[in-house]
Structure 1
Amino acid sequence: MNLVAWAIVTCEILFWVVIIAGLTARYIFKRNKLGLFFLAMTPVLDLILLVIAGMDLAKGASATTAHALAAIYISVSIVFGKSMISWADERFRYYVTKQGPLPPKRYGMEHAVYYFKSWLKHVLAYLLGAGILYGLITWINDPARTEALQNIITIWSVIVAIDLLISGSYFLWPRKAKNPVTRDL
């Protein structure tokens, strides 16, 4: 595995470490400012990853799938970061501190609309990530060195289309609440 791939793995691990540290500081130790500090570190990790990938390419490395994944990681983190932190926050409060409400389960049209909005965020992350990848392709200006970046854009385009089909299917076949299991005694 090359430096950029290790940087992605490290940043992903650190992303969850700082979120857990932030939530622990906030809810367990009642240190809101310290918790906010840890949560604010998540975009710093994105910046570090961007610098590592950019420096690797500037030194003449051929772009790899790892470089493309760095762009995806950064764009997904920017677009979904706040909602991922909120998701973790809800579950931490409920399951760890027993202080918050049960995280909601969505059904029917509420579920369909929620996942369609999530698809729209996916499109935004795609546009941002593809913009970064196209920027790298233009900057490097060597198709032989950037083939992996173009391939990832193509694959991601298909994934966004599949995600639309899945999200759209929830409008046609809405998710139904599971019936509680009853026993005849």
Structure 2
Amino acid sequence: MLVALIVACEVGFWVLLAAGLALRYLAKMPRLGAAVLLCEPLLELVLLVVSTMDLKNGGEPSWKHGLAALYIGYTVGFGHYTVKWLDRHAAHRFAGGPKPPGPKYGRERARHEAKLWLRTVAAGAVALALLEAAVLYVGDAGDTSSLRGWQFGALRAVVIHGIVAATYWIWPRKAPAATAPDAPEAEADPVLPGRREA
């Protein structure tokens, strides 16, 4: 049941997101669309309550509880960012809004990657806290090794993403030569007055 609920929450996230954006930009009902988008956190709240009730009713701690914790953590870290990113693209596509910024290079891209990594840190911290709360709640009454394994997975994701983000500082991505803002323009050979080019 818990796995089905996780799947339902993921599907519900995208359904609410699509409905909210459609109401905002296609149906020209921005307040109703915003209200629908604000319902997104309710999905995670339902998942948290059901996961807790499952443990309270004697459910054996398993990978399902770990997956639920990581899903909630990911939504806390990246849910708002995802909604905002898609909202900007929908505003540009359907409401004549400004074009969202394209790929970034150099230090600007490195800062962007660092901010994304901080979101992963937030997601990992939430997942770790929820998993630790589950471990403490179960205590010696059950086997919590699977929950500890999910904690290790969350930490590993934070570290790996941190290493990837650091590469953008160590080896900054450079803009292609054609789009580089400071690329010097090629000078044409001057043609003297009264002289024809060969």
TM-score, scaled to structure 2: 0.83
CA–CA separation in structure 1 for the residues paired with 2:17 and 2:104:
25
RMSD of equivalent CA atoms: 1.8
Q: What are the superposed Cα offsets for residues 92-141 of structure 1, whole Å, 9 maximum, x if unpaired?
A: 2234x162222212111111011111111211221121011100100011
Identity %: 34
CA–CA separation in structure 2 for the residues paired with 1:174 and 1:26:
38
CA–CA separation in structure 1 for the residues paired with 2:56 and 2:141:
15
Change over 3 Å in CA distance of 1:23–1:154 after alignment to 2: same
Correspondence 1:172 to 2:165:
no
Match of 1:53 among 35, 51, 54: 51
Larger radius of gyration: 2
- Tell me the equivalent position of 2:192: none
CA–CA separation in structure 2 for the residues paired with 1:167 and 1:48:
33
| Number of residue-to-residue matches in the alignment | 178
- Tell me the equivalent position of 1:27: 25
Which has the higher mean CA deviation after the structures are superposed, 49-58 or 136-145? 136-145
Contact 1:137 1:143 in 2 (8 A): no
Which has the higher mean CA deviation after the structures are superposed, 107-116 or 141-150? 141-150
Q: Which runs of 5+ in 2 are unaligned?
A: 179-198
Which has the higher mean CA deviation after the structures are superposed, 42-51 or 52-61? 52-61
- Tell me the equivalent position of 2:132: 134
**After TM superposition, which residue ranges in structure 1, 4 or more long, deviate above 6 angstroms?**
none
What is the one-letter code of the residue matched to 2:158? V
Correspondence 1:99 to 2:96:
yes
TM-score, scaled to structure 1: 0.89
- Where 2:58 maps in the other structure, the secondary structure is coil
- Tell me the equivalent position of 1:44: 42
CA–CA separation in structure 2 for the residues paired with 1:55 and 1:66:
13
How is 1:78-89 mapped onto 2 (pairs within 5 angstroms)? 78-89=76-87
Change over 3 Å in CA distance of 1:108–1:102 after alignment to 2: same
Structure with the higher helix share, 1 or 2 = 1
